[in-house]
């Protein structure tokens, strides 16, 4: 006869097996192979509300309600143009919630970001697109890809149809508005109507057309270099209403086709990816060294492309320093990571574009050291804060590469007297040489001294044996304690990814934070 302890062990085991079965039944799996190195589901992380106190000083001490990060209309209408435009651009560059794992549907060049969430097995996926284009390859790719992953029901509404129904006093049960309103849930709704988004969203909010929409992705147009206060008020009113409706931004895209005339550092078009509160998948982790050696190349390459558009730690305010297009770089502007004088920035790879170097020294007062042996300039002082070095970065001690003088990061820090200092930002765009420089930065321990590490990775589009060494390097960065907080696929070198047929890039700008160097007095 089994003892009481044995009986208890058997009962506990049965309960565990049964609970595991129930959980698996309730979680809908994707139809494509899951390439996650570690699979987890985490709770929706609410915005802690720091933005409210951070911007209140901009409005002459006027208090801003804690329930909304945008003040009421009466306050907006009394703000000066500089104040209200600053508020708008800060708002649209803020990540209000943390979405670690993102999918791009429609291609990295012009597609839309969604957050990977834990969905229910008994709830079929529903997707919507409100668009101004009757036929569009990117829209078709969006529905094809999201259909492959989640078997989503496809619904397309032309903006002209929505406008006609919006202006019509009577709509029947078969109208687009009536059908949308009848949906018990809509997983994804994309809105890209090339203008008039604020009026359309106001109509949809007023008529309850968004009440069942989980993720809402909207491209906002309409802000221009000469926009007046009324235009900003209109946009901010809608953004405030969306916030009150429960939507929080988890990703944004700055659209380069709307660059301000004469000012390449600002754009008037932003795509905001927003979501309601729901369980989300936890951060991706790089495969262990053992798995990197043994994983099939297709799975390894798939994880590489997915990892480099994901995030592992939440930075709330992501600010572009320099040009919106190529040449500018993002930094985390949260107080615990934000540069503050005295600060040090290393910029490897100038290529004749000084916008990042100039702006980071002007805004934060940092000592900037710029490096590039390829542009034919000798060592010189560009300004009182910027020093140019005719020197390249590689993974060996001081040496020569053709006509170029080269040095590893450890040697450069010794040369500049920075051996015992923290480097606030290391920015690196060195055209594939990162793969030889970074292992040396890891082995010498100097990478740990960077508070923010910005690098453009250059690689093959499709599976290749070299992915193993490059994934090992990504693993090494991760093991140094650095975590991804932002990514920006370079859209100038895109191709189809063989295993899936989806569009990927060969170059990713990736942005890391070092939580071990978080400022404790921030």
- Please give the average per-residue pLDDT across 256-283, as a whole number: 94
106 lies in the same domain as 185:
yes
**Are 111 and 88 within one domain?**
yes
Is position 443 within any domain? Answer: yes
Asked if residue 247 is part of any domain, the answer here is yes
Query: Is pLDDT at 486 greater than 70 in this prediction?
Result: yes
pLDDT at 522: 57
Residue 139's nearest CA partner among 151, 164, 126, 156 is 156
Across the range 278-283, mean pLDDT stands at 91
User: Closest by alpha carbon to 127, among 190, 184, 181, 178?
Assistant: 190
Q: What residues make up the domain containing 239? A: 68-281
**What's the structural domain count of the chain?**
2
Task: Give the separation between CA 317 and CA 53, rounded to whole angstroms.
Answer: 14
User: 241 with 359, same domain?
Assistant: no
Tell me the C-alpha distance between 513 and 453, whole Å: 7
Whole-angstrom Cα distance, residue 465 to residue 485? 27
Q: Which of 230, 263, 281 is the last residue of a domain?
A: 281
Structure tokens at 388: 């140019």
Residues 272 and 293 in one domain: no
Are 172 and 118 found together in one domain? Answer: yes
246 and 302 in a common domain? no
What pLDDT sits at residue 369? Answer: 98
Q: Same domain for 90 and 227?
A: yes
pLDDT digits (tens, 9 = 90+) for 284-313: 989 999 999 999 999 999 999 999 999 999
Residue 299 and residue 246 share a domain: no
Percentage of residues in the chain having pLDDT higher than 70: 86
- Check whether residue 237 and residue 146 sit in a common domain: yes
Q: In this structure, is residue 58 part of a structural domain?
A: no
pLDDT of residue 120: 76
Q: Is residue 62 part of a domain?
A: no
CA dihedral for 496, 500, 503, 507, sign (positive or negative): negative
Per residue in 163-220, pLDDT (tens digit) is 998 888 776 778 999 999 999 999 999 999 999 999 999 999 999 999 999 999 999 9
Residue 414 belongs to domain with CATH number: 3.40.50
Q: Which of 41, 250, 213 is nearest to 125 (CA)?
A: 213
Structure tokens given for 298 = 């297709």
Q: Is residue 428 part of a domain?
A: yes
337 and 207 share one domain: no
What whole-number distance in Å separates Cα of residue 377 and Cα of residue 194? 44
350 near 375, Cβ under 8 Å? yes
Domain match, 197 and 228 both: yes
Look at residue 370 and give its three-state secondary structure.
Answer: strand
Predicted pLDDT of residue 43: 54
Residue 228 lies in a domain: yes
Average of per-residue pLDDT values in the chain:
88
Domain boundary among 281, 312, 336: 281
**274 shares its domain with 359:** no
Has residue 242 been placed in a domain? Answer: yes
Number of other residues whose CB lies within 10 A of the CB of residue 505: 25
Domain end: 281, 298, 313, which one? 281
Q: Is residue 463 part of a domain?
A: yes
């Amino acid at each position: 006869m089994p003892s009481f302890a044995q009986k208890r062990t058997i009962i506990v085991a049965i309960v565990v097996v049964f609970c595991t079965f129930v959980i698996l039944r309730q979680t809908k799996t994707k139809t494509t192979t899951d390439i996650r190195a570690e699979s987890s589901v985490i709770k929706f992380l609410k915005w802690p509300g720091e933005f409210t106190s951070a911007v209140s000083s901009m409005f002459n001490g006027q208090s801003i309600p804690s329930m909304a990060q945008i003040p009421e209309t009466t306050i907006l209408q009394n703000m000066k143009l500089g104040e209200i435009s600053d508020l708008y651009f800060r708002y649209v560059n803020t990540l209000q919630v943390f979405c670690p794992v993102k999918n791009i549907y429609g291609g990295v060049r012009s597609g839309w970001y969604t957050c990977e969430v834990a969905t229910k097995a008994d709830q079929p996926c529903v997707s919507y697109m409100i668009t101004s284009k009757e036929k569009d390859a990117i829209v078709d790719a969006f529905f094809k890809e999201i259909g492959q992953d989640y078997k989503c029901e496809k619904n397309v509404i032309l903006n002209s149809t929505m406008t006609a129904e919006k202006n019509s006093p009577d709509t029947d049960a078969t109208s687009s508005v009536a059908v949308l309103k009848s949906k018990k849930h809509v997983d994804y709704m994309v809105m890209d109507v090339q203008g008039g988004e604020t009026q359309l969203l106001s109509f949809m909010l007023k008529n309850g057309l968004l009440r069942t929409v989980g993720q809402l992705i909207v491209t906002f147009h309409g802000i221009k270099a000469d926009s007046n206060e009324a235009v900003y008020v209109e946009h901010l009113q809608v953004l405030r209403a969306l916030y009150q409706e429960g939507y929080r931004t988890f990703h944004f895209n700055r659209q380069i086709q709307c660059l301000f005339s004469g000012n390449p550092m600002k754009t008037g078009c932003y795509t905001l990816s927003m979501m309601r509160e729901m369980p989300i998948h936890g951060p991706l982790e790089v495969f262990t060294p053992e798995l990197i050696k043994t994983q099939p190349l297709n799975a390894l390459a798939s994880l590489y492309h997915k990892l480099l558009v994901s995030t592992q730690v939440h930075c709330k305010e992501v600010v572009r320093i320099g040009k919106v297009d190529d040449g500018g770089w993002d930094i985390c502007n949260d107080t615990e990571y934000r540069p503050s004088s005295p600060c040090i920035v290393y910029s490897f790879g100038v290529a004749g574009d000084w916008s990042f170097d100039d702006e980071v020294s002007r805004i934060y007062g940092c000592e900037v050291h710029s490096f590039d042996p390829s542009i034919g300039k000798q060592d010189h002082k560009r300004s009182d804060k910027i020093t140019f070095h005719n020197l390249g970065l590689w993974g060996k001690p001081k040496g020569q590469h053709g006509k170029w003088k080269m040095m590893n990061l450890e040697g450069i820090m010794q040369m500049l007297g920075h051996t015992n200092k923290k480097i606030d930002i290391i920015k690196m765009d060195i055209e594939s040489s990162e793969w030889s420089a970074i292992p040396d930065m890891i082995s010498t321990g100097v990478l740990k001294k960077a508070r923010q590490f910005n690098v453009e990775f250059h690689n093959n589009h499709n599976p290749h044996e070299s992915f193993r060494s490059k994934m090992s390097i990504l693993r090494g960065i991760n093991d140094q304690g650095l975590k991804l907080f932002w990514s920006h696929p370079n859209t100038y070198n895109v191709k189809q990814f063989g295993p899936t047929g989806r569009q990927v890039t060969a170059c990713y700008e990736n942005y890391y934070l070092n939580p071990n160097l978080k400022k404790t007095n921030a």
